């Protein structure tokens, strides 16, 4: 009888713990999440660990970044950590499925990213100007290690692209890119939509060791601001086009070698 009572008590404790975990409020889990947020803070947290939201995501100094919603599969209890995330902010928006693999790599599928390029001025300082407008990125699949994509299938769109310069804004039209990666080497095909003031055709190669850009740009119209901007990139050919061949890093002067995936 004593053994049966002990068994029933143990079973009750397990069931109570499982029930609590199944409906665990998100705010109760915050102390375990904070070290993983790299200084970000979640406020106005509601819902459960599995289906919750934060009314405000802020930096350590209190700057508001946006709102966050998430859905975590309960299969995480079996080691399958799959998240559906939706973040909305004035400068950045993200939605998609994210998972962490057993080897520590991060996988993203069917993800959409929207970035206001003005927010990147500190990273995009250039004598040619600063990009303006919204960069739209659609990621079919990405496999990341240490934040770098080992595998990638994505498309980018920059509608109503503008470069902000000392002499004013230069309109570039709509620019497009298709990107793929294997072994940590990213290949991107760059072009325009065929209707804007700038004809663009090129390719960009990136790896942790360097980058290389090979592109041809040409003004379709007689916009003097665009022509002056192109002239700063290099001497124009007879048809007015400008060829750009640039690179940087250890592998910037040639093709970027593939990186191992492990």
Domain end marker among 25, 60, 81: 81
Give the closest residue to 211 by CA, choosing from 256, 152, 178, 176.
256
Last residue of a domain, one of 33, 60, 81: 81
Q: What is the pLDDT of residue 99?
A: 86
pLDDT of 67 reads 93
217 shares a domain with 197 = yes
Return mean pLDDT, the chain: 82
Contacts for 62 with CB less than 8 Å, ≥ 6 apart: none
Does the residue 22 lie in any domain? no
> Residue 59: which of 73, 74, 76, 38 has the closest Cα?
38
Do 72 and 143 lie in one domain? The reply is no
Q: Per this entry, what is the length of the chain?
A: 262
**What's the pLDDT at 6?**
46
Say what the pLDDT of residue 258 is: 40
Residues 190 and 129 in one domain: yes
Instruction: Give the span between the Cα atoms of 235 and 232, in whole angstroms.
Output: 8
Q: Please tell me whether residues 141 and 238 are part of one structural domain.
A: yes
| Gap between the Cα atoms of 228 and 170, Å rounded | 10
Do 66 and 171 belong together in one domain? no
Pair 122, 222 in one domain = yes
- Long-range contact pairs involving 40-45 (C-beta distance under 8 Å, separation at least 24): 40/65, 42/68
Q: Are residues 158 and 230 in the same domain?
A: yes
Residue 4: inside a domain: no
SS3 107: strand
Same domain for 63 and 109, yes or no, is no
* Cβ atoms of 120 and 133 closer than 8 Å: no
Residues 177 and 243 in one domain: yes
| Tally of domains in the chain | 2
**pLDDT at 138 (0 to 100):** 98
Could you tell me if 203 and 239 lie in one domain?
yes
pLDDT block averages, 10 residues each, the chain of length 262: 44 39 56 64 82 86 88 64 87 92 89 93 78 96 93 97 92 97 95 95 95 95 90 90 89 44 39
In a domain, 20, yes or no: no
Q: What DSSP designation does 254 have?
A: S
In a domain, 36, yes or no: no
34 located within any domain: no
Assess whether 149 and 210 both reside in one domain: yes
Residue 37 belongs to some domain of the structure: no
Question: For the segment 143-199, what is each residue's pLDDT rounded down to a tens digit?
Answer: 999 889 999 999 999 999 999 998 899 999 999 999 999 999 999 999 999 999 999
| The two structure tokens encoding residue 73 | 């599969």
121 and 196 belong to one structural domain? yes
Q: What is the C-alpha separation between 143 and 134, in angstroms, rounded?
A: 24
Residue that terminates a domain, selected from 63, 81, 99: 81
**Containing domain of residue 240, as a range?**
91-249
């Amino acid at each position: 009888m004593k053994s049966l009572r002990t068994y029933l008590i143990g079973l009750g404790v397990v069931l109570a713990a499982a029930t609590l975990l199944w409906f665990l409020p998100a705010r109760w889990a915050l102390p375990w999440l904070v070290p993983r947020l790299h200084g970000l803070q979640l406020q106005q947290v509601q819902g459960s660990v599995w289906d919750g939201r934060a009314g405000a995501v802020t930096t350590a100094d209190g700057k508001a970044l946006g709102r966050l919603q998430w859905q975590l599969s309960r299969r995480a209890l079996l080691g399958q950590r799959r998240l559906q995330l939706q973040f909305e902010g004035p400068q950045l928006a993200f939605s998609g499925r994210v998972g962490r693999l057993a080897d520590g790599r991060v996988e993203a599928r069917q993800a959409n990213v929207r970035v206001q390029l003005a927010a990147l001025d500190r990273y995009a300082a250039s004598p040619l100007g600063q990009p303006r407008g919204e960069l739209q990125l659609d990621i079919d699949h990405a496999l990341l290690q240490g934040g770098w994509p080992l595998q990638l299938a994505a498309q980018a769109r920059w509608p109503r692209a503008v470069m902000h310069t000392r002499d004013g804004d230069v309109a570039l039209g709509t620019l497009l890119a298709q990107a793929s990666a294997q072994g940590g080497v990213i290949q991107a095909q760059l072009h325009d939509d065929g209707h804007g003031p700038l004809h663009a055709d090129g390719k960009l190669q990136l790896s942790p060791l360097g980058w290389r850009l090979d592109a041809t740009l040409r003004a379709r119209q007689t916009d003097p601001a665009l022509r002056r901007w192109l002239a700063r990139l290099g001497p124009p050919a007879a048809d007015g086009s400008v060829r750009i061949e640039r690179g940087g890093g250890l592998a910037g002067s040639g093709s970027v070698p593939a990186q191992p995936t492990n």
